[in-house]
Amino acid sequence: SAVISQKPSRDICQRGTSLTIQCQVDSQVTMMFWYRQQPGQSLTLIATANQGSEATYESGFVIDKFPISRPNLTFSTLTVSNMSPEDSSIYLCSVLRQENTEAFFGQGTRLTVV
């Protein structure tokens, strides 16, 4: 299994500010995925982060709001920019094991915007 360390685990932020979430994997992976889970809802994919190229964003998500970095094969960051209370969610990073596409997740970042 893959071990994924995600931080911070939670934060309370003022509206209009930005928060950067870090995700560290214990092995090299080609793709890393960022999800959002709004209160009481299931997971929605924000973007796929490939090392050495621009992230691929899903419909409804844009780079200006959720810039992503992927400097190497074990690390990625997601920034939530210019936050509003509607951004209050759990943000999760994920990887897929290449052999059987089993998905593994970080511990999640619980973000509250006030």
Partner 1 sequence: KQEVTQIPAALSVPEGENLVLNCSFTDSAIYNLQWFRQDPGKGLTSLLLIQSSQREQTSGRLNASLDKSSGRSTLYIAASQPGDSATYLCAVNSGGYQKVTFGTGTKLQVIP
Rounded Cα–Cα distance for residues 71 and 112 (Å): 27
If the CB atoms of residues 3 and 82 are measured against partner 1, the closer one turns out to be 3
CB of 102 to partner 1, least distance (A): 5
User: 20 to 79, contacts with partner 1 by CB under 8 A?
Assistant: 31, 33, 41-43, 45, 48, 56, 58
Work out whether 10 is an interface residue with partner 1 (CB under 8 A).
yes
Rounded Cα–Cα distance for residues 5 and 61 (Å): 24
Interacting residues toward partner 1 by CB under 8 A: 1, 4, 6, 10, 31, 33, 41-43, 45, 48, 56, 58, 90, 92, 94, 96, 100-108, 110
